[in-house]
Structure 1
Amino acid sequence: MKGMPFAIVLVALLGVVLFFGFRASERRAPVQDNSESGYLVFEVQGRLKSIASDSRSAVIEHETIPNYMPAMTMAFPVRNPADLTGLKEGNAISFQFVVTGNDSWIERVKKLRDDAVAQSPAGDRSSRIGSSGSIPSLDVGDLVPDFRLTNQNGERFHLRDFAGKQVVLTFIFVRCPVPNFCPLMSENFRKLQEMLKASGKMEDVRLLSITIDPTHDTPEVLKAYASRYTQNFSEWIFATGEEKQIDTLLTQFIVYAEPNAGTITHELVTAYISPDGRLAQVWRGNEWKPQDIVNTLRMGEEQIQTTESNAVNHRN
């Protein structure tokens, strides 16, 4: 909507589960299925994008993990930093991805021949983005259309209700099984809410978590989930909607999400929408930190103040 005075940071969980992608990946099933014992181990291949200074995490563009996760670029905790010794950005690698009930990490990282892995293992995401009819996706600079959803109390609301507020928005679903995806996004939101309160900026911000699983995630289910992270539902809203409404949002923000075998494969996406309602910046993955969002909101606020000051000076 033209001239909408709000800012949105979209965190759409780029997230998790059950996607059958590239044929090369389809040959790699879990090495160990110890789900009854509380953990799974997957064999994965990809390309190393970066290594943290302490070697305790690495950003990897990986192929599809069959029955679990779409191909994407994400940050993985590293169990043994020594596994990364001698590796550098761009190396083709294999590793084991271990997922427990409350944690996940990679181990047994090995360098492969360069031709063993595609140069861009995640490929073209656009071919995996579900579309909603003729709804166009948003590009940086586009105005974000208004939308209507239902909150955790069963009340309808519009995006325009937050006019004049900065909005941080994320896509999640309650049954998301990987600790470093939806649960991490919600935990980051919890920390973000605390940081904004401490700085006195929460009044100017609204947090919004939108489910991508509206059939299961009713207002009642969302409220129970939300209570794990916050008790202030005026500052942080959890929302659901009709499947068509959710699909439209996923299409607009280019968030891959696909129901599959009782769960959902999806991606994590973070985006900043400027005070005039335009998509200004997009981040993909789970690498962002609450402080990154705080910094983005601060910059947005400073831009508003500068614009208002220039307008006053011009009139004078």
Structure 2
Amino acid sequence: MTTLLLGLLACWGDRAYIVEGTVVEVHGPDEVVVAHEDIPNLMPAMVMPFKVAEPAMLEGVRPGSRIIARYELLDDGSRFTRLRVVGQGEPPATKTGPFPARPGEVLPPYEIPLDDGTTLVLGPDQSERIALTFVYTRCPIPEFCPAMMGRLQALEAALGEGEGRLVAVTMDPAWDTLPVLAAWGAEQGAGPRLRYGRVEPDVLADLAMSAGLPVSAQEDGTIGHGLRLLVLDRKGRLIERYDDARFPLDRVVSQLGTGEPLMPPGNSGTVTPEEAP
């Protein structure tokens, strides 16, 4: 193991880290979901996806593979730049139920306290169109929460005087109190339509599962996550679910303004093509 670590540490950079964990699943040719251990000076243990520098790095990698990898935060994004399989076992226990809401389905009722002192109502009594996402203030990965918040700010700027509200719910309620969220929002330059919410961990887990967001089963209660943006109509019905931070602004602006277009039947989530604006 010492030799392996030395090899992975070769050409070490100031934003490079060792990741050890177990593969949950492989997503396409260049992404792997890992239940990883604590990454010192970066993040606690959680379940999350990682990009790899080259598809060949995932040859022989499958659910249950025990891996050790070099993870680098680069100017053009973060990724594994070295990866080794060091063992094979059963995939870690994770849960994603209930199944994600589909177009036209109504979210269960939720009440979400917001950083401005108001309470957001989701579900049948919602009364306004909402774009809902999940972030946390200490997220260190550029392609995740920072990218989503940047896109939400662009969406807020693109919205006219009509309807549409943007809400980001923290996935770290132990750290992200409402005052912390309010201060963070001010630092981010959030406008009046973009608000931050916090719910208790049990409510968060249920809301995230209703949104189709993976929830880890780790004993310390940490929550691994992907990216989700839910666009909901005035009755809490799902208009569309976007599974990345590249969602098309013009489409979401239209959905928040008119409730259309509706996501095609049979889909659970939309992944935006790389060439999308």
- TM class, shorter-length: 0.5 to 0.7
**Partner in structure 2 of residue 70 of structure 1:** 47
1:266 aligns with 2:225: yes
Deviation at 1:138, TM superposition (A): 4.5
User: Could you tell which deviates more after superposition, 248-257 or 221-230?
Assistant: 248-257
User: What letter is aligned with 2:47?
Assistant: P
- Percent identity over paired residues: 18
Equivalences for residues 122-201 of structure 1 within 5 A: 128-129=94-95, 136-140=98-102, 141-159=104-122, 163-196=126-159, 200=160
Between the aligned partners of 2:157 and 2:36, the Cα distance in structure 1 is 37
The amino acid of 1:238's aligned partner reads Y
Alignment of 1:99 onto 2:61: no
Higher-Rg member (1/2): 1
Does residue 260 of structure 2 align to residue 296 of structure 1? no
Determine the C-alpha separation between the residues in 2 that align with 1:191 and 1:266: 22
Task: Work out whether residues 167 and 208 of structure 1, in 8 Å CA contact, stay in contact via their aligned partners in 2.
Answer: yes
Deviation at 1:152, TM superposition (A): 1.1
Partners of 1:92 and 1:274 lie apart in 2 by 43
* Superposition CA RMSD, Å: 4.7
User: Could you list the runs of 5+ residues in structure 1 that have no partner in the other structure?
Assistant: 1-26, 50-58, 113-117, 306-316
| Corresponding residue pairs, total | 239
Choose which of 17, 34, 44 in structure 2 pairs with 1:40.
Answer: 17
1:193 is aligned with what amino acid? E
Tell me: higher relative CO, structure 1 or 2? Use CA pairs within 8 A at least 6 residues apart.
1
Distance 2:109 2:171 in 1: 18
TM-aligned CA deviation for residue 31 of structure 1:
3.5
Q: Tell me which amino acid in the other structure corresponds to 2:149.
A: S
Instruction: Write out per-residue CA displacement over residues 129-154 of structure 1, whole angstroms, 9 at most, x where no aligned residue.
Output: 266xxxx5543132122311211134
Q: Deviations over 1:46-104 (max 9, x none)?
A: 8673xxxxxxxxx73314162255364x7x496xxxx67xx7xxx84889663339874
8 Å contact from structure 2 (residues 231, 241) kept in 1: yes
Gaps in structure 2 of 5+ consecutive residues: 38-44, 62-67, 262-277
Aligned position for 1:245:
203
| Bigger helix fraction | 1
CA distance in 1, matches of 2:138, 2:12: 15
Q: CA deviation at 1:299?
A: 5.0
